[in-house]
């Protein structure tokens, strides 16, 4: 008795979904720093979308311009914005608090439970806009977004 031969169902090349490759891409983010009285106002900075090798870079000094910022906090610091980041991105403070533009959280996602707990200690908290800058990865979802560093009342 002959059994039908199984064939593998391969998707033709021309119908495969093409994924946009952001590995060499840059994005623009506008930052408003409310802590710097000499700030010229909104500043648009260009950020590289980190590659896998950037993700595994050894970081001795995040302010070193050769270090590719992986998150909003480091991007702000490298661009001389007044954002403290006291715990160095360990999710143990709220001094990297940023406000995403309205609707920004829908694009990049909201804070997790641990981040929510730290955000409760942040000044200038705004429901639906607040994130800890060290927890917001630099991705294409931030392209064209405006973020604010809220004024530190202390």
Binding site for ligand FES (CB under 6 A): 73, 85-87, 89-93, 95-96, 118, 132, 134
Q: Are 78 and 31 contacting, i.e. CB atoms less than 8 angstroms apart?
A: no
d(CA 96, CA 69): 14
Least distance (Å) between residue 128 CB and ligand FES: 19
Question: Of 29 and 131, which has the nearer Cβ to ligand FES?
Answer: 131
Distance of closest approach, residue 31 Cβ to ligand FES, in angstroms: 16
Smallest gap from Cβ 77 to ligand FES, in A, equals 10
CB atoms within 10 A of CB 116: 12
As to burial, measured by CB atoms within 10 angstroms (0-12 exposed, 13-18 middle, 19+ buried), residue 150 is buried
Of 92 and 140, which has the nearer Cβ to ligand FES? 92
């Amino acid at each position: 008795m002959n059994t039908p031969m199984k064939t593998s169902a391969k998707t033709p090349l021309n119908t495969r979904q093409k994924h946009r490759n952001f590995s060499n891409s840059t994005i623009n983010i506008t930052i408003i720093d409310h802590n710097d009285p000499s700030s010229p106002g909104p500043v648009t900075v260009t950020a590289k979308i980190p590659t896998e090798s950037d993700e595994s870079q050894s970081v001795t000094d995040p302010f070193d311009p050769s270090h590719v910022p992986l998150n909003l906090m480091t991007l702000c610091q490298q661009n001389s914005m007044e954002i403290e980041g006291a715990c160095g991105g360990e999710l143990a403070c709220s001094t990297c608090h940023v406000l995403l533009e309205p609707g920004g959280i829908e694009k990049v996602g909201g804070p997790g439970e641990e981040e929510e707990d730290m955000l409760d200690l942040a000044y200038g908290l705004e429901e639906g806009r607040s994130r800890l800058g060290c927890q917001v990865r630099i991705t294409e979802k931030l392209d064209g977004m405006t973020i604010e560093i809220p004024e530190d009342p202390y």
